Homo-oligomer: A and B are copies of this chain.
Amino acid sequence: MQSDYSKIIDPVKLDRLAEIAVKVGLGLKMGQDLVLTASLSALPLVRRIAEQAYKAGAGLITPIFSDEELTLSRFHHAYEMSFDRAADWLYEGMAKAYTSGAARLAVVSDNPLLLAGQDQAKVARLNKAMSIAYQPALEKIAGFYINWNIISYPTSAWASLVFPDLSIVEATRALAEVIFTASRVNNDDPITAWANHNWQLKKRSTWLNNERFSALHFSGPGTNLTIGLADDHEWQGGASVSRNGVICNPNIPTEEVFTAPHAYRVEGHVRSTKPLSHQGTLIDGIFVKFENGQIVEAHADKGEVVLNELLDTDKGARHLGEVALVPHSSPISASGLLFYNTLFDENAACHIALGQCYSKCFHNGESLRDEEILVRGGNKSLIHIDWMIGSGNIDIDGIKADGSRVFVFRKGEWAI
């Protein structure tokens, strides 16, 4: 139970975080409905978000809560056949809500190691069933049909992992402060701070779009990887315009600029630089080899079963759907902390994602049909899983169509 520790968290800052989620994260429109997914452990933030959203003119807020106790109960008591089941009707319903114009907000607060002690084969099966069931909703989200946002809430279970040397109370307080700072809630004027930040990210993505690299070459310890970029790719970062015309900040915090790799033009090998916490299990020390864009070899020091099951989700799971650049000096990275939470760790390091690409990473992406995205090298998959490959030792070159090279990153920092 996390609820005992919720009183530790500064209520004024929590209110501001809720306001940022609604106004900057979602850019919620007057009268717009909202589907809100969260763990029960995030209830204090969910209630504040609801208040802020109704004040901002939300139509109907529908919370869909998960409960870590129920998840564990399933692993402790359910029969074998349970682990291939997922609530397809619920995710199809969400997709329908998004098609009807609802926005989507996800609050992330789960214990990153909730399922670490459970049968990893069952975890992998559950992940696969979830990925398949979730597909209709993911399509609307990844395709930016709607404005959406992911934001975090500091639970004590999560905080104890990030700050193993602190007491639970101190750890929770510390994680709350890190979340508030990274989410720019500690500024006097968070809304303006986000406007400035979005502008900085926009400058980076504009430079990259003008350079029109055909590939990026990553080199560093254990990594020698050439990532071909998709034809007509477009770099994105910070605020996004969704197809419904709303400007949203899908991730809070965010420090990345990102685009679509060419699914069949990735060569070489790469080693992960941070552990990946996926659905309650940790995958660490990933090493993979690419040939013609496909992962042909994959190892992990920890969680190899879950990793390989993920790669077997479908054909696209072995190809890349995103490459993202984050300087090693980014505020989240500078904290020196390991968050076991992709929303934070991906904003501390350059990363790549297995699986589905974002259509908005293509020029005029919103008006392209699925086949047109595939032709340009976009990837299609049931999954989209980011993992970190950046560090202070990574160099990145931009490679142009004529083979000429431009320094993009040196020792983990922007070289421009």
- Chain A residues with CB under 8 Å of chain B are 3, 30-31, 33, 40, 43, 46-47, 50-51, 54-55, 57-67, 69-70, 73-74, 76-79, 81-82, 85-87, 89-90, 92-94, 96-97, 100
Contacts and interface: CB of A to CB of B under 8 A. Distances in A.
Contact of A60 (B54, B73, B85, B100): B85
Contacts of A67: 43, 46-47, 63, 65
Q: Which 7 pairs, one residue from A and one from B, show the smallest C-beta to C-beta distance?
A: A93-B93, A60-B85, A54-B77, A54-B78, A89-B93, A89-B96, A89-B97
A199 B6 CA distance: 50
A54 B83 CA distance: 11
Contact of A54 (B61, B74, B90): B74
B69 A54 contact: no
Contacts of A60: 82, 85-87
Nearest to A78: B54
A73 B86 contact: no
B73 A47 contact: yes
Given A51-B73, A61-B74, A89-B94, 18 more contacts: A30-B79, A40-B40, A40-B43, A46-B67, A47-B73, A50-B70, A54-B82, A58-B78, A58-B82, A59-B81, A59-B85, A60-B82, A60-B86, A63-B65, A63-B67, A89-B93, A90-B93, A90-B97
Contacts of A92: 93, 96
Contact of A55 (B40, B46, B77, B93): B77
Nearest to A66: B63
30 contacts: A3-B3, A30-B79, A33-B85, A40-B43, A40-B65, A47-B67, A47-B69, A47-B70, A47-B73, A50-B73, A50-B74, A54-B74, A54-B76, A54-B78, A54-B82, A57-B79, A58-B82, A59-B81, A59-B82, A60-B82, A60-B86, A60-B87, A61-B74, A63-B66, A63-B70, A65-B67, A89-B96, A90-B90, A90-B97, A92-B96
A55 B58 CA distance: 40
A114 to B, nearest CB: 15
Contacts of A63: 65-67, 70
Contacts of A58: 78, 82
Nearest to A61: B70
Contacts of A97: 87, 89-90
A46 B59 CA distance: 29
A93 B30 CA distance: 26
A77 B60 CA distance: 12
Contacts of A76: 51, 54
Contact of A100 (B66, B70, B81, B89): B89
Contact of A90 (B51, B59, B62, B85): B62
Nearest to A47: B69
A32 to B, nearest CB: 11
Contacts of A96: 89, 92-93
A67 to B, nearest CB: 6
Contacts of A66: 63
Contacts of A93: 89-90, 92-93, 96
Contacts of A51: 73, 76-77
Nearest to A65: B65
Nearest to A62: B87
A93 to B, nearest CB: 3
Contacts of A3: 3
Contacts of A74: 50, 54, 61
A276 to B, nearest CB: 26
Given A61-B70, A63-B70, A81 B47 contact: no
